[in-house]
Structures are given as structure tokens and as C-alpha cells.
Chain A
Amino acid sequence: MADRNTALRAAPLDGRLVRSAHVEIVPADVASRIVLRARPEAIAPLSRALGVKLPEEPKTSAKAKASRLAGRIALWIGPDEWLVVDPNGADLMALCSKVKKLHSAVDVSHRNTAILVAGEAAQSVISAGCPQDLSPNIFPVGACSRTVLGKAEIVLVREDAHVFRVECWRSFSDYVFAFLADAARDAVI
């Protein structure tokens, strides 16, 4: 029965799982996210406020250094655009609101959802639908990119040699998950 005082949260991929000998595909935990847009002069104060140095190198990401912020990442999306993800549900909007330098922060915690693809075949599975070169020398650990998977837009992060985070919009997540699952049927590595 619906409780009028506490609406429960239902993520779009709750309960989904694919596991094979070479790859595991699971929905990531819910997280808070913001899209950050800023000019160069705001990068330093925003980095301080968020506890993570916003990367300025294309297709790179940065992690928060402090252990209490563990898991917080900032992904370079464009020359003035970042996607900041915090798996501990921090109020990123509030952190940014303290920064006076000109910027735009928009809460997209629920717009995106994420899927973790892990295992020896992870890169191969993503390569079924992503035309980018994902070989480790080109797309090393920490690399990120706004790209496509099949017919859906994704943001791809290589979290570890064999672990990728696939961020996509909520309503595309069923397609993205099903695509990854279909690709995982083919065990080519």
C-alpha cells in the first residue's frame, strides 16, 4: 500500500542481472548526479566545493581523494561540461550552490541510471554496440566518453581494467541492459 508520507524509490533496473563465465552485468546502486557547466574560472572553486578536481583533459575522469567522499567521480563530458556522480547520495546541488563563480548545476540523479559491466569480456561486450576504440592503451582506466551503444546514447567510464560503468538515461536503460545481455551471449574476448 502506498504510503503517503514516504514515496519509495524504484530504480528502473531493479533485480536485473546477467552473469556468465566471462562477464557480469548488474545495475549500479542509485547515486546522486549533477550536470555541471562552467567556465574556466569556476573550475577551481567548484572542484574545492565538490572535493574532486574537475578534469580538463578530454575523455578523462577524476575521483574524489578524501576517503569520506569515496566513490565520487567527475566525468569530463565536454569542454565546459561534467557529469558528477556520488554513490553515497550526497546533495551535490547544495555543494555547488555555495560557489559564487558563474556556473550551472542541474540535478540529474534520476535522469540517469547506470549499469556495471565487469569481467574479462566486459570490453568485448560493450564493443558489440560502441564503435569507439576501447583498447586499454586508447581507453585506459579512468577514461570516459559520451558515446553510443547500439541506438542509445551512453556515458562510458572505464573504472578498472575489466570494469565499465555505463550511464544512460532512465527510459533507455531497459534497451541498454538488454543490448549488453544479448552481446554477452557471444563469449568472444
Chain B
Amino acid sequence: MSGANRIAGAGRLTPARSLRFSFDGELYTGLEGDTLASALLANGVHLMGRSFKYHRPRGVLGAGSEEPNALMSIERDRSRRQPNVRATVQEVFEGMSAVSQNRWPSLAFDVGAVNNVLSPLFAAGFYYKTFMWPKRAWEKLYEPVIRGTAGLGVAPDESDTDHYSNRYTHCDVLVLGGGVCGLSAALAAAQSGASVMLCDEQAQFGGALAFETGIRVHNEDGFAWAAQTAQKLSAMDNVRILNRTTAFGYYAQNFVGLVERVTDHLADPDPALPRERLWQVRAKKVIIATGAIERPMVFANNDRPGIMLSSAARTYLNHYGVAVGTKVGVYTANDSAYEAAFDLKRQGVAVETIVDTRDAPGEGLLSTAADLGLEVLTGQSVTDTKGARRVSAMVVRPNGGGAARTIPVDALIMSAGWTPSVHMFSQSRGKVAFDASTQRFLPGDYVQDCVSVGACNGTDDMPAAIEEALAAGSNAARATGSKRSPKTKVSCEGAGNWSGGMSGAAAGAGPDTTVKAFIDFQNDVTAKDIRLAVREGMHSIEHVKRFTTNGMASDQGKTSNMHGLAIAAEALDREMPQVGLTTFRAPYTPVTFGSIVNHARGKLFDPTRRTPMHYWEEEHGAVFEDVGQWKRAWYYPRVGEDMHAAVNRECRTVREVAGLFDASTLGKIEVVGPDAARFLDLIYTNGWTKLKPGRCKYGIMLREDGFIYDDGVVARLAEDRFHVTTTTGGAPRVLNHMEDYLQTEFPDLDVWLTSTSEQWAVIAVQGPKAREIIAPLVEDIDLSGEAMPHMSAREGKICGVPTRLFRVSFTGEAGFEINVPADHGRAVWEAVWAQAEPLGACAYGTEAMHVLRAEKGFIIVGQDTDGTVTPDDAGLNWAIAKSKPDFVGIRGMKRPDLVAEGRKQLVGLKTRNPMTVLEEGAQIVADPNEAVPMTMLGHVTSSYWSENCGCSIAMALVANGRARRGETLYVPMPDRTIEVEVTGTVFFDEEGERVNG
């Protein structure tokens, strides 16, 4: 038995297919195809959650994704715990464990329910007023406490073990919603030959046909027709149909996000399957067929468990075979609730009374009610309910006044009418228009290439809605290039009409009352909260929304927006459209982080770039540092060495013997064409036309504003071919910068740029023995100092493979940079290492490289410069060709501020105590005793212990720095003040003789 309230013969589930699940530790039996909500109701469980603010007991309100109350935590294991799952959407599976939320210690006895008693203190906006004083308590006391109690559900505390997938896809026609209209539209478009995608959030297609059992399509049961149509569509090559798939966001240019729940309904999902699949769809045409959502009635205590939408009760009965009660009351302001009452009665459920706030229900309803023996009270209202954890009675009063009658019920179904679901239309930036005759908002002006059909478009009559959908489908197909135009026909009969109803508070919950008549069940917003907001001066619906939090919950106001608006309009004595409607935000229903992140987890979060020599470095104990996406060998500690010791040894070894350094990450750009030198003349501050093939030069490039942008060594390989190097981090932006100028400013030049950063592995061999190390491996190149002096470049072979060999130095030592095609990088490195190691050379990392260059006063762009440093500030005036008429930045450099006295200039600093190493970024002052805020002269840009100098060294940008050489300045630190002397920037081999080796 799958629950006492399951009615034999009712619904579409198969009684034999039972399964077991638990809710708050209790075991229950459900049927395959049940949602958690239907399975619990079948077992007579109505209490499914506690409300957010007042902790009031709550049951299900709906049967679909609009559900505000029945939010649960579904837990497969500690790492796969999903909070805030709507019980009305979650399908049960064998062994499922569901836990209620927002209660302690238990759902039935919840300490937090004291908030309900104290609710006068917690009126809308209370925390804007209550916690204003004392001001300091906000940060320390109020906010932490509020944050602690706020929020629904508990996030998992372990990393998610599920995986998620993404697919970009394109189609001619995307249909949102798989009810009768969505299916009809998809069918018409598909049969015309268009490529079609159709999605629906439910497990099965059919939409309202799930409960509208009176509808017959093509002379058969509507829901069966929907299933057959879905099957027919899925068999077509030009169609992809997705169930359990929510269109959650409608973005620019018909870009729609869908999330498909692949495994959430499975007891034992195949681990190969992603839990969810994100579909990022670009559609030529979108057909919105999202239907309508029923509104609750707004009356006192309308939130007790057992009180729900009439369409929900009908769904539970007609689809799941579950009676929502044994004594059901009905409260309505429109006709569709009657159908629910009739269905229940026909299945033998006692329907106590239909209370209709209208005087005249729709045609024929009263006679059908009479035939079924149902009492109908027209012109009366339910003004209150009784019951604690489930409704036990409804209090009914005539609208004109009179005696109240208390009618015992154990379920109360209600309908205030249907709200067209314009969420996706509104998300598409379409403007809704108020339809005064039906008092509702409908799609108005379209901004994107989409069309709404059926109930979401306000087309209430089903045959008309189907016609509208079919036309939309074939029109969309034609508009996207389909030539075929078959006549797709869908005939239907037996549909009721859903128009009519009311928005706002019903009798007994009007402005003269203080009752709790809920409109936003999830955020505990009542009719009187809206009125309070208006009294407090919130006259725009946007302000009312934020003051009361109406419609701000995860259900995005699906059941509450219209009521909130109507009550605000009434309080303001204005028409609804004058008060406005809040914008519908994405996502339509909550989306997991997993599906948004999808593949970009772990090593796929961001590319990790490794050089060809990376694994050799790893095998030789390198510690790596991240430089952008690159992994670079930082230092190579030997046994017993810490970083400091390793770097000291590497620095010493390079100057005494030699070192190998992986410089592969340097950006490289091949500049080719007869105007290559002219182009470089314009890009760099230096002159290039006179550089001979086979020679190298250090170049600086500026931005238009005259500040240093990048630097690097450029080799001229031929008259029309240069090998440019950039900083590691600058590689992509320097190429963009060059390409930008080439295309926009200098399009007349015959020159092309190609990135070769990754073509070449670069092995820097630096130190007194550099030549001795590489000589045995090099063919066709005379390495002697005379034939290949400092700053020269040769092409030849090393280890049998082609090389571009540069005689350059970033250490101040004699050195070479061996460029070889990247796939040969490791083998050549190993060959060089085999020569180097016996001589006592070492491999060194980026830290030693930094120290060695600082000893020589070589800047690192981005470390010693920060985008506000001119060549003169950096002491690089020598690199500016004075004779050139133009280059990028030449005018910027002449701006008054850039040539003014007192600019910060790059200088060296030596600490008075040579053992003290300054902190990079530390501020520099002249008077250590000055009161805070002190006059800051500049800051330390680079600072190291220099083993080769036997003292600490630093570079700094200091106001008027070069004129201060020899001065004593101070670096104030939290615990002490460090005395420094301003020096030149070259700390080692000032004459620069060592590069000539």
C-alpha cells in the first residue's frame, strides 16, 4: 500500500511499482512516478516545512515548480546534499532520504515558532528600524545573529562528487513549455522541417493535461496524446525534446539557458551520467508556451497545512491518485476550482462546501454541483481557518455580513484565478501590458524574436490556444527558412475556461483588519505588510517589494506578485498598472552552482600552462610558482635547503660557474615584412632601422599616454624579419597592442605579426662557463666573443635541431638564450644539463632570476613599473631615440605632468643594517618622526637578499629620487623604522664587464 490516501483506480501511477523513502527519518512507501509531495500526501503527511520568518507550519501549496512552502533537503551522502528542493518537483526514488528545513529540534515542535507569537515585532522592514542603534552593534551583534538565523536549508560541507555537463546548441525554433500548446507549436514547426528544441520542467509532457482530465485531444485522453506526441517528436531527426528541463534564463539575442536534471530522480544513477546538463541554446525563434499559474486566495490563516491550490489538489488526484483530504473545503473566486471539487467528489472524496466569493459562478457549474450533491455558498467568503499542524476547519461568512459558520475540513482547496506565466517573456526584456478587462498582465511589446502562445499569452480558450500555437510553430519554421507547410492539426474538446478571478485580499483580510493573510508564503509576507509598506511611504512596487521582500524568494513571486500589486494599488488608490510590476529575474527556478560551473572544475577551472621542460624541472625537485596561467620553476631546493638557501646557492652558482634557466614562457612575436623595422620604430621608443641582421637590442614600448607598457629584447634575423620577445605576462596584450596599431594607425605598412611564444622552448645558459657548456652541442655557429658578441643572434643547429641562438643576458653574466622548436626543448635541455652539471653549474628558478637582475638594476615591467612610470622615471632615457619623429607615446611623454620636477624615479636602496631585507610595497619617508599621515616619498618595488653582494638590495620609486643619491630615508614598518640609503640601481659589476665574459 502506498499510502492511505491513495485512491484505487485513480491517477496514472502503477500500484505495483512501489518504493520506499524516508522523510525526517520516518519510512514511507510511494509509487514510481510520485513526487515527494504526492507520496507524502498519499501517506497523509501535510506538514512539510516551516516558514522562513515566523516558522509557521506549512504544507504544499502547489504541485509544480511554483511551490513556495515544501522545500526540503535531499541527501544522497554528505557531499551530495541539496537544500531547498521543492517536494513538488523532486521525484521519489527507492531509498531516498528527505529532511525538512528551517526547524529545530523537529518539524512538529519548532522553537523558532516563537517568532510567530512575537510577529508584531517583526513587521515588514523591522530590521531597517530596529537595529539602527547603537550603531556599532550592527557589525558585532545584530548582523551575525540575523545572518545566523536567516537562510533556508544548509549548504553541503563537502565538495560535490557529482559531475555536470554543458552543451552549446543552436536551433531554428525553441519551444519553452511542453503543455498542449508547446507540443502543438513544436509539432507544427518540426513537421515544417525546422530544427526544433522543446523543453518542459516536468518529468512528463502535457502540462495542465496532467490534471485537466476532461480534455480530449484528437478524441483521446489529453495526457495520453501528450505522451504520444512527445514520442513522435523525439523520433524526428530535426527535434530534440527535453523533459525535466527548466528554461531558467532568457538572455540577449535569443540565448536561453536550460538546465536538464539527468539523475536527480534515479535511485542508483550511473556514475558516468552528469547530475545535470546545462544547455546554452541560441535559437532563431523562441515560442513561449509556459502556461499559467494558479493564485491562492488571500484570507486570514490561509497558510495552514492542508490548504492548497485547487489545481494542485486536482493534480494529486488525477495524476498521482492521491486525495488531499477526506473532508475537503473549496474556496474560490473563479470557475476552475469547481472542476477540482467535481473530480474529488466523483472519486468518492467528501467535498464539504464550495465557498464562492462571487455571486454568480460560471454557467452550468451550479447544476453540476447540485447533480453531484455539493453545497455551494455563493457570495460568501472563508474568513479564517482553524488547526495547528493541519487545517481542521474553515470559517465562512456571507460577504454582506451575517453569522459565521465553522465547517470542519481536513483540506481546503482554493483558487483566486490564473496568472499568465510571463516570466520568460519579461526576462526577454519584453514589456508586459495590463489587460483591464481581465485584470492581468499579458505580453505587450516584444524586444526579441519570440512569441507567446496559449495561457501565458492570455488565450484562455483551449481550441483557440492550440490554433495560436500551431500558427506560431509553422510561422517560426517558415521564418527560419523551412519550405514545407504541412497542415498540422490538433483538435480538442472538453476544456473549461480559466479566465476570471480576483487579485488582492479577499473578505476578512481587508485594510481594516490585522489578520495574517499570506501572499508570499515563502518569505512570510502578508497583506498587511504590503499596506504597512505603503503607509511607510513606499509608493512604487519596486520599493514595496524591497521593503516587504514580497516576490524576492526563490519562487520569484510566482504566486504572490499579482496579489501584492493589487493590495498596494488598493492602498494607494490607484490602478494596478500605475503602481507597476516588478521585473522578473532569472533564474525562473533556482539553478545549482554545479550546472553553471559544469566542466570548469578542478584542473579545468583554468588552463594550466606548462613549458616543454616542466616535467624535467619537476623531476629535479623544482618548486613552482604561478605566473598567470603558467607554472614556472621558482627554485630548486636540494636536500636540507629552504627557499632562502636554495636561492642563495643558485645566485652564487650562476655568477661563479653558470646556471640553466627555463625562459620558455617569454612572449615571442615574429614581425615579418619589408616594413618590419619601420613598424618597430613606431612601436618602440628605440630606433630599429640601423640594427643589423644578427644583432639584438633591448626595447621599450609605451602606451599612448607615455607610460612604459612592456619591454624585451628584439633580434633582427633578416632585413625583413624580427624576433620580438615580451614579458611573460605581456605576451597576449603586447600582440594585441601591436596588431591594434598596425590595423588602425599604420595600415599602410607591409608587415605582419605572428605569435611564436610557444614555437620556441628557451633555455637561458648564464654565467662564466656558459660558452663552455653549450659549445660542444652547437653546430654552424662561431661562439667566440669576437664572432658572437653580447647582443647578437645566430641561426644554426644545436643537438641536431634548428636553433635561434641569442647572446643576451638578464643576469649581467655572459650568457646565451637557446631557442629550439618546443617539442625538442626537453631533449636539448637535458643535453645542455649533461654538459653543465659536471662543471658545477645549476638549474635556477625565477626567484634567483629576479635577484640576479636586481643586482644589475634591470627592471621588471609590472613590478618596478606600475603603468604610471615613464622611461625617464625608470632611468631608461638612453633607450629613447631622440631623432625619431614619431612613436607610440611620444606625445604622451611630453605632457606637463610627465616632465615635471619631483616625479618618482627609480633608485636603489641599501639598508643601514645590511642584513635587513625591506618589504616590497613598503612606503618611504624623509622624516620618521612626522605625525601620521606622513609625507610618503615613494615605495619599495623590489627587495631581496643578495648573496653575491653580501647585503640586502632594493629598488624603489622615490620622489626626485636620483637627486637624493646618498641621502638617508626611512621605511616605517608596524614594529620599527628601517633606515636606508639611496643608491644607484646597479649593485653588482657596475662597469658591466662580465657580460662580455
State the CA gap A11–B823 with chains docked (Å).
5
Task: Identify which of B167, B169, B777, B800 gathers the most chain A CB atoms within 10 Å of its CB.
Answer: B167
How near does chain A come to B733, taking the closest CB pair, in angstroms?
15
Q: Is the CB of B754 within 8 A of A170?
A: no
**Is the Cβ of B277 less than 8 Å from the Cβ of A3?**
no
Find out whether the CB atom of B610 lies under 8 angstroms from the CB atom of A171: yes
- A152 to B798 alpha-carbon distance, docked (Å): 32
* 6 examples of A-B residue contacts, CB within 8 angstroms: A5-B799, A7-B828, A129-B599, A133-B282, A170-B612, A185-B274
Partner of A187, one of B272, B673, B826, B834: B272
Q: Which of A9, A111, A129, A186 has a CB less than 8 Å from the CB of B274?
A: A186
B727 touches A (CB below 8 Å) = no
Contacts of B834 in A (CB 8 A): 1-2, 4
Please classify the interface of chain B as helix (H, G, I), strand (E, B), loop, or mixed, using the class held by over half of its residues: mixed
Contact pick for B821, options A4, A109, A132, A178, CB 8 Å: A109
B758 within 8 A of A: yes
Find the B residue at minimum CB distance from A152.
B607
A residues 144-176 in Cβ contact with B at 8 Å: 150-152, 169-172, 174-175
Q: Would you call A10 and B674 a contact (CB within 8 A)?
A: no
Q: With contacts A2-B833, A12-B612, A106-B759 known, what are 4 further pairs, Cβ within 8 A?
A: A102-B674, A111-B822, A133-B170, A169-B758
A40 at the A/B interface (Cβ < 8 Å)? Answer: no
In the complex, A170→B497 CA distance in Å? 64
Judge whether B672 and A104 touch: CB under 8 Å.
yes
CB pair A10–B606 under 8 Å, yes or no, is no
Q: A66 contacts the other chain (Cβ, under 8 Å)? A: no
- Asked if A25 is an interface residue, CB under 8 A from chain B, the answer is no
**CB proximity to A under 8 Å, residues B783-840:** 798-801, 820-824, 826-828, 830-831, 833-835
A37 touches B754 (CB 8 A): yes
| B611 within 8 Å of A (CB atoms) | yes
| A4 x B606 contact (CB < 8 A) | no
Contact A171 B630 (CB under 8 A): yes
B395 at the interface (CB under 8 A from A): no
CA distance A109 to B826 in the complex (A): 16
- A185 touching B163, Cβ below 8 Å: yes
> Does B165 lie within 8 Å of A7, measured CB to CB?
no
* Bound Cα distance from A6 to B598, whole angstroms: 44
Interface membership of B752, Cβ < 8 A? yes
Query: Which of chain A's residues has its CB closest to B170's CB?
Result: A133
Residues of chain A with a CB closer than 8 A to B229's CB? none
Residues of B within 8 A of A (CB): 163, 165-170, 195, 272-274, 277, 280, 282, 598-600, 603-604, 606-612, 629-630, 670, 672-674, 750-752, 754-760, 776-777, 798-801, 820-824, 826-828, 830-831, 833-835
In-complex Cβ contact of A10 among B603, B759, B823 (8 A):
B823
Q: Is the CB of A171 within 8 A of B604?
A: no
Select A30's contact among B603, B757, B801, B823, beta carbons within 8 Å: B823
Contact in complex: A171, B758 (CB < 8 Å): yes
Closest Cβ–Cβ distance, residue A179 to chain B (whole Å) = 6
Is the pair A104, B609 in contact by a Cβ cutoff of 8 Å?
Answer: no
Spell out A's residues near B (CB within 8 Å): 1-12, 30, 35, 37, 102, 104-112, 124, 127-133, 135, 138, 150-152, 169-172, 174-175, 178-179, 182-183, 185-188
User: Are A10 and B604 neighbours in the complex by a CB distance under 8 Å?
Assistant: no
Partner pick for B169 among A7, A107, A127, CB 8 A cutoff: A127
Q: Which of B167, B170, B273 contacts A135 (CB 8 A)?
A: B170
Nearest residue, chain A, Cβ from B606: A151
Q: Which A residues are in CB contact (< 8 Å) with B828?
A: 7
Are B827 and A2 within 8 A (Cβ)? yes
Report the separation of the CA atoms of residues A110 and B668 in the bound assembly, to the nearest whole angstrom.
Answer: 13
Q: Which residues on the A side are within 8 Å of B608 (C-beta)?
A: 174-175
Residue of A nearest to B830 (CB): A2
Question: Quick check: A106 and B754 within 8 Å, CB to CB?
Answer: yes
Q: In the complex, are the beta carbons of A151 and B758 less than 8 A apart? A: no
Taking CB atoms, residues of chain B closer than 8 Å to A3 are 799, 827, 831
Q: Which residue of A lies closest to B800 (CB)?
A: A6
* Given A2-B834, A3-B799, A111-B755: A10 in contact with B607 (beta carbons within 8 A): no
Q: State how many angstroms separate the Cβ of B765 from the closest Cβ of chain A.
A: 14
A142 to B938 alpha-carbon distance, docked (Å): 59
- Smallest Cβ distance from B795 to chain A, in angstroms? 12
Known: A7-B824, A108-B754, A186-B273. A175 touches B604 (CB 8 A): yes
Q: Which residues of A contact B607 (CB under 8 A)?
A: 151-152, 171-172, 174-175
Q: Which of A4, A6, A183 has the most CB of B within 10 A?
A: A4
Whether the pair B672, A106 counts as a contact (CB closer than 8 A) is yes
Contact between chains at B167 and A127 (CB < 8 Å)? yes
Taking CB atoms, residues of chain A closer than 8 Å to B777 are 4
- The distance in angstroms between the C-alpha atoms of A9 and B975, with both chains bound, is 55
What is the CB-to-nearest-CB distance from B833 to chain A, in angstroms, rounded to a whole number? 8
Given A4-B834, A35-B754, A188-B277, CB of A9 within 8 Å of CB of B824: yes
Contact assessment for B800 and A10 in the assembled complex, using a CB-CB cutoff below 8 Å = no
Measured CA separation A3–B799 after assembly (Å):
7
Q: Give every chain B residue within 8 A of A182 (Cβ-Cβ).
A: 163, 599, 604
